[in-house]
Amino acid sequence: QKEVEQDPGPLSVPEGAIVSLNCTYSNSAFQYFMWYRQYSRKGPELLMYTYSSGNKEDGRFTAQVDKSSKYISLFIRDSQPSDSATYLCAGASGTYKYIFGTGTRLKVLA
């Protein structure tokens, strides 16, 4: 079992839809979680960083962590074609060794 799992997609949604991207993880010691956006052939870009359980909102993005079920989510409101990318989740028990999922490819259709 991989430590962090994501559905690879692709996930296709119409412009303006609310997108829900999800990850599960197996290591109960994880306390730090990140979401990245990666465009094709580019380096990942940090979107959200959360510590422990709860929600965090930044503009159109909301990150949610449920440690009891080992489930993390990223919601994108009012999705745009420019949001089309691969989204990576990552978790860590300490501050440096993050374990990444393989990414979910998102397509927002105009």
- Between 79 and 89, name the residue whose CB sits nearer to another protein: 89
Q: Provide the minimum distance between the beta carbon of 4 and another protein in the complex, in angstroms, as a whole number.
A: 7
Cα separations in angstroms, 63 against 14, 23, 34, 48, 109:
21, 11, 9, 7, 23
CA angle 33, 39, 45 (to 5 degrees): 35
- Between 17 and 31, name the residue whose CB sits nearer to another protein: 31
Residues that bind another protein (CB under 8 A): 2, 4, 8, 32, 34, 36, 41-46, 49, 88, 90, 92, 95-103
Q: Provide the minimum distance between the beta carbon of 20 and another protein in the complex, in angstroms, as a whole number.
A: 20
Cis peptide before 44 (omega within 30 of 0): no
Query: Token pair for residue 89?
Result: 């989740």
- Between 8 and 16, name the residue whose CB sits nearer to another protein: 8
